[in-house]
Amino acid sequence: MAAPLDLRRVTADRSLLGSLEHVRNVGLGGVLDGDGRGYRARRARPTGAAVTHGYAWRFVDQWTQIWWPQGIAVGEHSGVPTALVSWYAQPRRRGAMGARISVVDLRNPSHATYRHVLLVAPRQTDAGVVLDPVPVHAGGIVWAGDRLFVAATLDGILEFRLSDILRADSRGPFGRASGPFHHRYLLPVFARYQPTLPKNDNRMRYSFLSLETGQGDAASGAASDLRMLAGEYATDDGRRVARLTLTDAGCTVTEAHVPRVPHMQGVALVGDRWYVSSGHGGVHGGDLWSGPIDNLRKSDGVLPPGPEALAFWPSHNELWSVSEVAGRRWLFAIDQTRF
């Protein structure tokens, strides 16, 4: 069963990066220690009995109908507690804006700040190298050392290197950033984990991702072989969650399960206990399922409406998630020991 689900790794042409103009490399540290243009994430009290604390985005990000938060990863970078949150953009007349990562600085819990990083792919044109937005749903992400993995649904998984983050120069009379759609920070794709077979009914849908427990905190570094979890979203209860091993050659699905959970949005594994988030739209609270993968117990409505991916923070012993409903978008922690 695993063979049709495997992915092969294809590295991007990094030589194009050397031809880019009006950008400089700053890495993740450069985003965290940015130029004062960060946005405020205010402390909030998200709804849901499982939630212990959380944050709300600035007004524009809280209510926009273009950008929708999806994936989450948590850890530390050079001692700075950090959350990474992926968003995808609904296509508009301006063109496909692709996906972005919000880098949330949590070192001061009462005054968290964040900056957006646009995911891009270099492309050679007659006029030079341009950076195209990456049109991916980004329903889940994994942060492991310098590596960031982004779920690409039926197209597998994308890999980025956080040390590759670029800062675009300010240009024009208003001093706006010169990156695509005026983004200041840009992250070019490093590699793609692509399906080995054409589309078929058995092909894995990489709707969401998380780092498997036993890998340590996100910033502790990553071996060449990484263990991850992935899952498939659908309205029915017949979709899979899978355990993955990523190598320099590709991705192997080592086991797959059908937990009989409709509307799956995220998955985490803490020790031998599985957690799955599921939602019911923008009005009713989301559910948290927990227990053995073949016998999950449902805790009704204990998450905010529209819960998305899950991530476990070992040093904090907490699950973290995000919610996508406009006006009720939160980055929040969950006390999973109660479930």
Consecutive H or E run containing 28: helix 27-32
For 69-88, letters b (16+ CB in 10 Å) and e give bbbbbbbbbeebbbbbbbbb
What's the Cα-to-Cα distance from 105 to each of 108, 115, 150, 265, 331, rounded to whole Å?
8, 9, 20, 25, 12
- pLDDT by residue for the chain (339 residues), tens only, comes to 445 678 999 999 988 888 887 889 999 999 999 876 789 999 999 999 999 999 999 999 999 999 999 999 999 999 999 999 999 998 876 668 899 999 999 999 999 999 999 999 998 888 888 889 999 999 999 999 999 999 999 999 999 999 999 998 876 554 566 666 778 999 999 999 999 877 776 788 999 999 997 654 554 544 568 999 999 999 999 999 999 999 989 999 999 999 999 999 999 999 999 999 999 887 899 999 999 999 999 999 999 999 999 999 999 999 999 999 999 999 999 999 888
Q: How many Cβ atoms are within 10 Å of 93's Cβ, its own excluded?
A: 4
Q: How many Cβ atoms are within 10 Å of 257's Cβ, its own excluded?
A: 16
- Residue 137 is predicted with a pLDDT of 95
pLDDT tens column, 187-220:
999 999 999 877 776 788 999 999 997 654 554 5
- Residue 179 is predicted with a pLDDT of 66
Cα–Cα dist 185/189, whole Å: 13
pLDDT tens column, 89-121:
988 766 688 999 999 999 999 999 999 999 999
Is the CA virtual torsion 38, 42, 46, 51 positive or negative? positive
